[in-house]
Chain A
């Protein structure tokens, strides 16, 4: 099994504080981490490798500091990591990102399975995985909560839906995006950390990937950000006082006024 896991580096929200005056995120000086959903993707890759043999390659696109996240993935046990980094990739929307990743996957060569996290916690789009699959002309299934098995070139997975789940089987090579329920990511081992520290992580640029400049970065992005703004803050809420019975009675009265109960 040749497994490729795509990860994204995002600001660490456990460190993000909210500015109480403006109700905005204070992001200055916030550390970067591997997108939480991508940890489940890495873990699933490692588990499938342990079961079926093969290798796990971790792939990411971003500025040079993303190397740190790739080292973390290596310390968890991934076999190799590759960074796609070039000024030409900056400002990419999901389509341009998926295109750039697809060129890297083509350069890597034959593979069996690509695993992505369900979505990144900064953009929340959940689009890069399916778009990447389409560009590679391979099938995909989103929101996978369980891999039931891989046999004779087919993978059977369970997708989370609004009402429950669906069991789906499809041929490899393919792509899945995974949710948190799928596993419990391992912590890096000391040995893994040592290995990751020494590992060489190749950085592939636009010229090495042979990407079309019209399809990467800001230039290759059909969507443009017109404006970013802080949503209007709600007025202060009403916190009741007094004995519990009193507070509850007040609440129900308020709800009745709005005809909710």
Chain B
């Protein structure tokens, strides 16, 4: 397996040179040359060369052939090399796997918002495949929630019930979810890209030895192969990648919250609940949840917020941050912040948006006195509507803004608050 330049097709246009993240490509005598010591086969150049098709990744001959023609033989081919038992799953007899599963995340008995979004998207995928949509719900006494999942589009709910599953912990959750996957063999398993989903999914994927795509923002079914096309941002959304998991099942993905609309509730929908009582069996539980600490004051769940009002250094002083908080409160939004003000100690890290903080995509993002360094932009530029307030008209934040107000944020926010109240007829 390697990568090569097809010299007859290469015109030496340098497109690949510019995109290579490792600087592995040079142009020698008007043809691209790839330094195999530097290349990590990421495939960015192959995509970039779409027009000329002059670069190709050569996969293992056997592998490529199987991928295209003989899916059944794949299993046998892999099994020969398999090191130990349980490895057979790695090859995954694809034919045995069907159905779309959504992991229904719950906290203190309340189903997470992202689960309803996954049911909406999962429904579409299941209909496209002509298959069943199931939700997997782990918890303690969740019968009513199971019925709700049916109302939101699930044909079937696998309900694993035990006091041991009341709160999320990696060990018991992974044990149950893996076991159910082995028994029912779903073709697709979707989880929310939440704290829980992004810890549980890789544990389960490693145990099932299957592929997992993180933080997807687009899902579709390939018309020909029926494979799941998983699209996700990389480099903070400056690049998008479409990922496949062609030879392993289930195809697993975590999906970014708030990207898809929630499914519509229909209480007349009917479905089946498959119950599993785990209360009599001791599940693996190495970790112990000692305490749940809720953050006080303003909401910090930036991932689920419709509106985020974020403040930066342009506010000049910590005490002025109250303006940002007031605007957030008036709009019913959450409070975000740039790295600079978090580092200055104005507001806790949980509010930081950007590369070393959180990636958010609310309906409205209002950047107040934020200059817009690339590290901040990658954390918020996929927001639906961006409003920038900054006194420097050259600030890069305006490059990603839908609406921009040029002015001192300390004057703009009070004026904005007044105008909003006026618009609402409160003043």
| 6 CB < 8 A contacts A-B | A17-B374, A122-B234, A169-B287, A217-B1, A222-B247, A247-B407
User: Chain B residue with minimal CB distance to A182?
Assistant: B349
B378 contact set on A, CB distance < 8 A: 13
Chain A interface, number of residues (Cβ within 8 angstroms): 102
Contact indicator B195/A143 (Cβ below 8 Å): yes
Flag whether A159 is at the interface (Cβ < 8 A): yes
Question: Could you tell me the distance between the alpha carbons of A23 and B411 in the complex, rounded to whole angstroms?
Answer: 32
Contact indicator A251/B42 (Cβ below 8 Å): no
Flag whether B33 is at the interface (Cβ < 8 A): no
Per CB-CB distance, the 10 closest pairs between chain A and chain B, nearest first, are A91-B41, A222-B211, A134-B206, A170-B287, A223-B211, A130-B202, A239-B404, A125-B214, A164-B295, A181-B349
* A142 CB to nearest chain B CB (Å): 4
Flag whether A227 is at the interface (Cβ < 8 A): yes
Residue-wise interface mask of A (214-244) relative to B, using a CB-CB cutoff of 8 A (1 in contact, 0 not):
1001110111111111110010011111001
Flag whether B271 is at the interface (Cβ < 8 A): no
A261 contact set on B, CB distance < 8 A: 331, 420, 423-424
Contact indicator B48/A228 (Cβ below 8 Å): yes
Contact indicator B242/A226 (Cβ below 8 Å): yes
Question: Could you tell me the distance between the alpha carbons of A139 and B355 in the complex, rounded to whole angstroms?
Answer: 27
Flag whether B28 is at the interface (Cβ < 8 A): no
Question: Could you tell me the distance between the alpha carbons of A162 and B296 in the complex, rounded to whole angstroms?
Answer: 12
Contact indicator B423/A252 (Cβ below 8 Å): yes
* A160 CB to nearest chain B CB (Å): 7
Segment among A24-32, A47-55, A70-78, A187-195 that sits at the interface with chain B = A24-32
Which of A28, A160, A226 makes the CB contact (< 8 A) with B17?
Answer: A28
Contact indicator B241/A135 (Cβ below 8 Å): no
Residue-wise interface mask of B (275-316) relative to A, using a CB-CB cutoff of 8 A (1 in contact, 0 not):
000000000001111111111000011011000000000000
Q: Which of B55-76 contact A (CB under 8 A)?
A: 57, 59-60, 63
Flag whether B145 is at the interface (Cβ < 8 A): no
Contact indicator A63/B22 (Cβ below 8 Å): yes
* B238 CB to nearest chain A CB (Å): 5
Q: Which one of A29, A65, A128, A224 has the greatest number of beta carbons of chain B within 10 Å?
A: A224
Contact indicator A28/B195 (Cβ below 8 Å): no
B244 contact set on A, CB distance < 8 A: 223-226
Flag whether B23 is at the interface (Cβ < 8 A): yes
Which of A139, A161, A214, A227 makes the CB contact (< 8 A) with B47?
Answer: A227
Q: Which of A163-203 contact B (CB under 8 A)?
A: 163-171, 174, 179-181
In the complex with contacts A225-B243, A239-B401, A124-B195 CB distance below 8 A: no
Which of B211, B288, B375, B407 makes the CB contact (< 8 A) with A168?
Answer: B288
Flag whether B151 is at the interface (Cβ < 8 A): no
User: Chain A residue with minimal CB distance to B303?
Assistant: A162
In the complex with contacts A124-B359, A218-B1, A218-B59, A228-B240 CB distance below 8 A: yes
Contact indicator B411/A162 (Cβ below 8 Å): no
Question: Could you tell me the distance between the alpha carbons of A139 and B169 in the complex, rounded to whole angstroms?
Answer: 10
B290 contact set on A, CB distance < 8 A: 156, 167-169
Flag whether B10 is at the interface (Cβ < 8 A): no
User: Chain A residue with minimal CB distance to B229?
Assistant: A226
Question: Could you tell me the distance between the alpha carbons of A92 and B210 in the complex, rounded to whole angstroms?
Answer: 13
Contact indicator B195/A123 (Cβ below 8 Å): no
Contact indicator A87/B36 (Cβ below 8 Å): yes
B424 contact set on A, CB distance < 8 A: 261
Which A residues are within 8 Å of any B CB, using their own CB? Answer: 11, 13-14, 16-18, 20, 23-30, 36-37, 62-65, 87, 90-95, 98, 121-131, 133-135, 139-143, 145, 156, 158-171, 174, 179-181, 212, 214, 217-219, 221-231, 234, 237-241, 244-245, 247-249, 251-252, 254, 256, 258, 260-261
Contact indicator A244/B234 (Cβ below 8 Å): no
* A30 CB to nearest chain B CB (Å): 8
Flag whether B21 is at the interface (Cβ < 8 A): yes
B240 contact set on A, CB distance < 8 A: 228-231
In the complex with contacts A27-B20, A238-B403, A226-B243 CB distance below 8 A: yes
Contact indicator A166/B293 (Cβ below 8 Å): yes
B30 contact set on A, CB distance < 8 A: none
A181 contact set on B, CB distance < 8 A: 348-350
Contact indicator A134/B203 (Cβ below 8 Å): yes
* A117 CB to nearest chain B CB (Å): 10
Flag whether B18 is at the interface (Cβ < 8 A): yes
Which of B235, B286, B363 makes the CB contact (< 8 A) with A25?
Answer: B235
Contact indicator B214/A127 (Cβ below 8 Å): yes
In the complex with contacts A139-B287, A140-B203, A228-B241, A244-B405 CB distance below 8 A: yes
Contact indicator B423/A166 (Cβ below 8 Å): no
B157 contact set on A, CB distance < 8 A: none
Flag whether B130 is at the interface (Cβ < 8 A): no
Q: Which one of A90, A181, A245, A258 has the greatest number of beta carbons of chain B within 10 Å?
A: A90
Question: Could you tell me the distance between the alpha carbons of A168 and B291 in the complex, rounded to whole angstroms?
Answer: 7
Flag whether B93 is at the interface (Cβ < 8 A): no
| 16 additional A-B residue pairs with CB within 8 Å, beyond A27-B20, A231-B238 | A24-B238, A27-B18, A63-B38, A87-B36, A93-B211, A124-B215, A128-B202, A131-B205, A145-B349, A218-B59, A227-B241, A229-B239, A238-B402, A239-B393, A244-B407, A260-B364
Flag whether B212 is at the interface (Cβ < 8 A): yes
Question: Could you tell me the distance between the alpha carbons of A24 and B243 in the complex, rounded to whole angstroms?
Answer: 20
Residue-wise interface mask of B (23-61) relative to A, using a CB-CB cutoff of 8 A (1 in contact, 0 not):
100000000000011111111100110100000010110
